[in-house]
Structure 1
Amino acid sequence: MPDLDYEYGTKAGRGSFWFHDSGGEQHVMQRSEERILTTHVGSLPRSSELTQLMFEHQEGHGDDDTLWGTVQKDVDAIVERQVAAGVAIPSDGEMGKPGFSNYLRYRLDGLGGETDPWVFTDLATVPELQAFYFEDEAAGHIHMPACEGELRYRGHEYVQRDIANLKAAMERHGVAEAFIPAASPGIIAYHMTNRHYPSYEEYLFAAAEAMREEYKAITDAGLLLQLDCPDIGCVAHTVGWMTPIVEKLGLRKFVELHIEALNHGVRGLPADQIRMHLCWANYEAPHQFDIPLSDVLEPVLKKALPNGILFEAANPRHEHEWEIFEDLKVPDEKVMIPGVIDTTTNYVEHPRLVAQRIERFARAIGRERVIAGSDCGFGTFVGFGAVFENVVWMKLDALAQGAAIASERLWSRTGSAA
């Protein structure tokens, strides 16, 4: 690695943004104006103490005071550790959630019971892998609900706790900008069987309307909102309760319907304060049936309101797809956040490899509109993750080092184009 005079961490990194709080100061999404900024998809490994407390909470016999006190402590610790690793735009690690979507059991009236089973078609071709992923203790605690009544948001106390914990940690550790993930309307409809609404469309848009309260709370607090949208990428290789709807609409119309519902949920909210995460699900498997990135990204860039777009670009099934950006027109307002570290393998990417991945996108799209991210989260559900905790931090260190190398190549010492 060259001898660079870059400092890592949010305090040293200056991008194009105005931070604001609930007082309402104008906000502009960060861009990599002086160096390649870094972020990730959101979830991080929970401590063993928090994992056990969350399991007990899900089973209905935990002590809430102990749980939420531990969450507050762990959010502070996880933000501090992200800053130390050089993550410019950190998250709360989703410490206060049992998973990226099943947390809504506690925040939406109308959810209950258990959803119908669904399968990834690639895993069905390797049943040993399916058993590996879904037959351990953590998988047994996912408890994905179904829709059994009218959806209404009741998670105000939860989301305000998330916001307060993150903002306190930001202030304590000198963080200028951070994000909170939230489930998209589409992942609710995609994951959670409809047993109430007369049509799929009514269910989907009811989810968007209900979740709008969470989305608005996050943006009103001056934080970035990340909408997790694996429903858009996973539609082609999932079989479940929604399969007849997909077959009726066709892949393209299904994706466009989900984008329309997402737009409904964030209507009137600042697009510069919202980013969406696209993926093909966070598990190691063949992925031979994945829909191509171009089929996902083209309608998203054309129709979706959020200005930030995160997508997988490091895993061996999709890394080659950076080539589409040589011809794809990316709207000027969009900030692209490709994954340049994988979240399903314990290999630690060499910083030079990370830099190469970043530079491909920077040269095709423009360096200011590229932020370096991860393929997916490292702790999708509590206790559920392929990468060991120590390796997660090695990977995030490599992410920051690779971004510094790419920055040295893309900017000269005086700030002009390299």
Structure 2
Amino acid sequence: MQRSNDRILTTHTGSLPRPPALTKLYAMRSRGESVDSREIDQAGHAALEEIVPKQIEAGIDIGNNGEQQREGFFLHVRHRMTGFGGSWKRWPRADVEDYPVFKQSLEQQIAGKEMVSNFAPPKVIGEINYIGAAEATRECKDFRELLDGRKRAGQSGFVEAFLTAPSPGIVVAAIKNEHYDTEDAYLAAVGRALQVEYEAIAGQGFLLQLDCPDLALEHHISFQDRPIGDFLDFVERVVATINVALRNVPREKVRMHVCWGNYEGPHDRDVALETILPLIARMNVGALVLPFANPRHAHEVRCLEGKAIADDQIVVAGVIDSTTNFVEHPQVVAERIERVARSLGDPVRVMAGTDCGFDTSAGAGRVAEDVVWAKLAALSEGARIASGRLF
């Protein structure tokens, strides 16, 4: 895993806006409508070819495939695993429920929108087995071939490349269990299945980013009416499951993203970072991707002081918000980066990133595509300014 040895490197958190036609295809499939799989494959590959040069032009050093060939950051597992069927409505977000006027406004914003909803997932009704190894490998190879083609053509590329995969915890929390006797059995089965995807990504030479919103978000969803101890026990069990699934992947090839939900909302029911950091830092990963542009959590950069994380772990600091159409001023971005560097005590261990993805499930993003690229350009410029002050 690269470090910011002489300048602050830039990255983002995975999902980037998908073309409207591709989004429509994913949304149709998620509703159970008939869709030609070859049409989805072709549209996804075309979107991949467009998304890579856009990242490079925006100044992203460590980029990915924008998750263009998936319908969402975790919902794609229903096409790569057995055992899923039907659907259910996810528990509501506690902070949104506390504000009925805001809730109504939020519902109006998404009414009739062409999108894949993270809140209408399937249920587990049978044994979980991973059957999508060929699809996972193809996604990796498509990305690798594109990067290699650019290199052969003498075109600029990424300093390093990554691909994402979900935490078993978000699958278990979001996809209701109607098959396994215990949650631990369900969690172990999903962990074993996702190990195949983790190893496929690492085996193709990419950084693996684990998307683990469950380690914060589920506190005010699945565990909103339960004692904090129950939630922290869940976090510990998920971290342990991930560490088992990563046993064949080098620590320095993995980074982990955690957040409180990629939505504009009150967030006043969020669990504090200081409460979960000692647990999530036990994950056998080389980097933590944390959201510090979030106005509810920006002050928590102080949690990085001292020995909060291991000496060999780095921090990808979210310094760009992924839920609003404000384009952050590069000077603000630079100040945020510098603050994280001061808290951690070493700018070499800091990268600049985004709080979360811009399109975590197809069509769900609220930031306009042209604004996304302006935000990423501001990220790059802010990192350049901070580098001049820190190195």
Match of residue 48, structure 1, among 8, 20, 29 = 20
Deviations 1:61-91 (A, max 9, x none): 2222222122112112101100010000001
CA RMSD of aligned residues (A): 1.8
The 3-state SS of whatever aligns with 2:141 is: helix
Match of residue 308, structure 1, among 272, 280, 287 = 287
Q: CA deviation at 1:164?
A: 1.6
Q: Which runs of 5+ in 2 are unaligned?
A: 151-156
* Structure 1 position 275 matched with structure 2 position 255: yes
Contact kept in structure 1, 2:168 and 2:190, CA below 8 Å:
yes
Where in structure 2 are the equivalents of 1:375-394 lying within 5 Å? 375-394=355-374
Q: Greater shift after overlay, 402-411 or 152-161?
A: 152-161
Q: Which runs of 5+ in 1 are unaligned?
A: 1-28, 412-418
Letter in 2 for 1:135: A
Counterpart position of 2:153: none
* Structure 1 position 111 matched with structure 2 position 84: yes
Counterpart position of 2:238: 258
Q: Greater shift after overlay, 132-141 or 71-80?
A: 132-141
Q: CA deviation at 1:190?
A: 0.9
Aligned pair in 2 of structure 1 residues 260, 129: CA closer, same or farther (>3 Å)? farther
Q: Greater shift after overlay, 327-336 or 77-86?
A: 327-336
CA distance in 1, matches of 2:224, 2:270: 15
Letter in 1 for 2:211: D
Aligned pair in 2 of structure 1 residues 201, 133: CA closer, same or farther (>3 Å)? farther
Counterpart position of 1:147: 124
CA distance in 2, matches of 1:180, 1:52: 23
CA distance in 1, matches of 2:41, 2:204: 20
CA distance in 1, matches of 2:375, 2:382: 10
Counterpart position of 2:154: none
Structure 2 length as normaliser, TM-score? 0.93
How many residues end up aligned between the 2 structures? 379
Where in structure 2 are the equivalents of 1:238-257 lying within 5 Å? 238-239=221-222, 247=227, 250-257=230-237
CA distance in 2, matches of 1:376, 1:138: 21
Counterpart position of 2:192: 209
Structure 1 length as normaliser, TM-score? 0.87
Contact kept in structure 1, 2:26 and 2:116, CA below 8 Å:
no
Match of residue 169, structure 1, among 146, 166, 169 = 146
Letter in 2 for 1:195: E
The 3-state SS of whatever aligns with 2:83 is: strand
Counterpart position of 1:324: 303
CA distance in 1, matches of 2:228, 2:271: 18
Contact kept in structure 1, 2:18 and 2:68, CA below 8 Å:
yes
Match of residue 363, structure 1, among 331, 342, 364 = 342
Deviations 1:78-109 (A, max 9, x none): 01100010000001000011111111110110
CA distance in 2, matches of 1:193, 1:111: 9
Contact kept in structure 1, 2:173 and 2:214, CA below 8 Å:
yes
Letter in 2 for 1:155: G
Contact kept in structure 2, 1:57 and 1:63, CA below 8 Å:
no
Contact kept in structure 2, 1:124 and 1:130, CA below 8 Å:
no
Where in structure 2 are the equivalents of 1:85-96 lying within 5 Å? 85-96=58-69
CA distance in 2, matches of 1:339, 1:172: 31
Counterpart position of 1:128: 104
Counterpart position of 1:408: 388
Contact kept in structure 2, 1:92 and 1:166, CA below 8 Å:
yes
Letter in 2 for 1:235: E
Q: CA deviation at 1:325?
A: 2.2
